[in-house]
Structure 1
């Protein structure tokens, strides 16, 4: 709970500033397309275990939904968001699923008519971290809260908005096998993905 409070604190602080700036608030949601990072460890092939596998996840679709705020100061806008995100990745002999809270805090400028560009850090807090279609068991990630980045462009058409962003990681955030054994493995839980969103401002 303490970590959740720490994660939400920047949003609350920005929200207080936004009220003073007559900011807009809204809801958003959309699709993700990407994958988590590299897997190192065993793989079952014809009931035999090989320990020489190293591979990246295969891109899959996910989704996100949440809220955002936006306020402008001297031509620059700040846009913090709080999102629930589901990510799916496919590896050779299992699927990897993550449910998390994302807190991007982006700075941007309006460049031409309704078009804007934006970039900034994206904090993530892992809620659930699991493997599917395998007997392997996964434990917690190394850091429940980690930082990546987002950058992209958006269109504002009245109260409606459309965003396309890329999200990447500054460093790995590995999840490990639940119990130490001959089947030890690691998976980098930070995702590299494209994010397409639609939003509505109140």
Structure 2
């Protein structure tokens, strides 16, 4: 119910804003993600947590999609993006760092950010919430942790997750350059391990994109 109200409020805000807007822009964009995964506190504080170790390595993926910008100095910018993300995770077999396996976690989302921004000449600042829908998940994470589960891994990646984006950019004619930080408000995965411990991960990343205005 709360999610439906949030979506309805966002739609009404866009309609209200667009009726007063002086500028409407439509464009395409693409770029790269530099992503990391973070383990949940519930896992790291448990005895099973000694078998898992957070890695500081980043995973490089792609991002591409379309955007619309409604407004002039003050604007709303909804986007639909296909975004490849991931990270790395260390599996410590027997809890020993001497017997460590590094697992690459890869997945692809359709991200729908709704940003509010302000322009200072060619400079922009923007931030807002984002919904993510998982469309493809790699099997490497599932295979690595099967031995710790009680009922099997199953479909570990949720259908939808929620997060936020914040950043800035430059507008140079028809081109736009953006740098953003993306954080998670909900887990990327949620897997029940033995002893009723939940394995959860949150993703954060830096995103660099180049956009082209087509309308």
Q: TM-score, normalised by structure 1?
A: 0.75
Post-superposition CA distance 1:69-92 (Å, at most 9, x none):
00106x310000000011131112
8 A contact 1:129–1:140 mirrored in 2? no
* Matched positions, count: 184
Please point out which of 172, 196, 199 is paired with 1:186. 199
| RMSD, matched Cα | 3.4
2:129 maps to which residue?
121
1:103 is aligned to 2:101: no
Deviation (angstroms), 1:16: 10
Residues in 2 aligned to 1:191 and 1:174: alpha-carbon distance in whole angstroms: 10
Matches within 5 A, 1:4-83: 14=14, 18=18, 21=21, 22-38=23-39, 40=43, 52-57=50-55, 58-72=57-71, 75-83=73-81
Deviation (angstroms), 1:36: 2.3
Residues in 2 aligned to 1:98 and 1:142: alpha-carbon distance in whole angstroms: 9
Deviation (angstroms), 1:14: 4.5
Deviation (angstroms), 1:140: 2.6
Runs of 5+ unmatched residues, structure 2: 1-6, 91-100, 147-152
Higher strand share: 1
